[in-house]
Amino acid sequence: MKKIRVMIVDDSATVRQVLSAVLSDSPDIEVIATAADPIFAYEKMQKDWPDVLVLDVEMPRMDGITFLRKLMSERPIAVVICSTLTEKGTHTSMQALAAGAVGIAAKPTTGLRQFLQESSADLVNQIRAAAKAQVKNIGGSASVKMAPASIVPPKHILPVQKKPIVTAPTFVGEDINKVIAIGASTGGTQALEFLLKSLPASTPGIVVVQHMPEKFTAAFAQRLNSICAMEILEASRGDKVQTGRVLIAPGGKHMTLKRADTHYIVDVNPGPPVNRHCPSVDVLYRSVARAAGAHALGIILTGMGDDGARGMKELHETGATTLAQNEASCVVYGMPKEAVNLGGVSRSLSLQAMGPAILGYAKNG
């Protein structure tokens, strides 16, 4: 079995020691080196290039963001950011994801050793996902390779053939039948940024599950809100789904869609992981199938694993249009592939084509 070769870059000797120990317990992972800062790391990498880099963001001599950008411009590599659960740490982590990091793992400011040991399973999964990532599709390189969604003619994307309507809620008054549900994991932060930036404020309401640790989703929503035409919020219980608004499930809580008279609202609750995730894409999709049925548009983006595949099939069976990101444009073609294999996808599209598909749905239903 070929092992995933990992380098740890962190100015804390404790972090380097504990991470090395917990990662070495995984039979498919080998820690080939550690470094106290990016300068030392780069020297070691020239002699032995790792598969995955576990990178801190706040370090002496050179910060993690600068180092990440240097690597992505010279020789792209799969990077998992290991960042503190502070306001500064979360916002810096968003910069790292935008710059091309594949995933993000949290570390606290106190109780570090115990936390890292207890959270090792999440980090191991992040590393495994990163090892499978197509780094050429991440961050800055993606923005160069991808043409603006607006130049892809909608006629090449729609119409998508719908199945006969099985269930469909009926509303009176305000026309709020349309709702878009999006699920993503590894590589999803970049994909969502690209997609949401292409949408106008007149787009129907969107609900999103992006696998991300607790406290990081608020910073993610704030970043997107600052660069997109739509209003983008971390969801709270009772928030209304409405035109021009995107609600992102908070880390550590499941989000579901519900009907309330003439509109949709979301419910947000803690709960056990589903498919190893909280929030779970499957939980969201199943609630959308019940609440919106054939009126909904379901989209599954890049990500490792199978979360969302069964929920998308249920959504598809109500007559809803369901779209999957295609393999060529995915960072990790895991979740979309599983949804396709289960027969829950109406059509697979490139990330560039998703924007026109959404606009077509908004116009034609």
Cis before residue 60, ω within 30 degrees of 0? Answer: no
Q: Which of 131, 126, 82 is nearest to 107 (CA)?
A: 82
Q: Which of 131, 123, 130, 111 is nearest to 20 (CA)?
A: 123
CA 282/CA 288 separation, integer angstroms: 10
Beta bridge partners of 104: 81
Name every residue whose Cβ is closer than 8 Å to that of residue 63 and which is 6 or more positions away in sequence. Answer: 38, 57
CA 176/CA 315 separation, integer angstroms: 18
Of the chain, the end-to-end C-alpha distance in Å amounts to 49
Distance of CA 306 to the CA centre of its chain: 13
For 43, 221, 333, the CA distances from 210, given in Å and listed in that order, are 35, 11, 15
- Tokens in use for 214? 């607790």
| C-beta separation of 79 from 55 below 8 A | yes
Give one DSSP letter per residue of 112-157, joined into a string. Answer: HHHHHHHTHHHHHHHHHHHHT--GGGSHHHHHHHSPPGGGS-GGGT
> What residues are annotated to the active site?
185, 211, 307
Q: Is 202 helix (H, G, I), strand (E, B) or coil?
A: coil
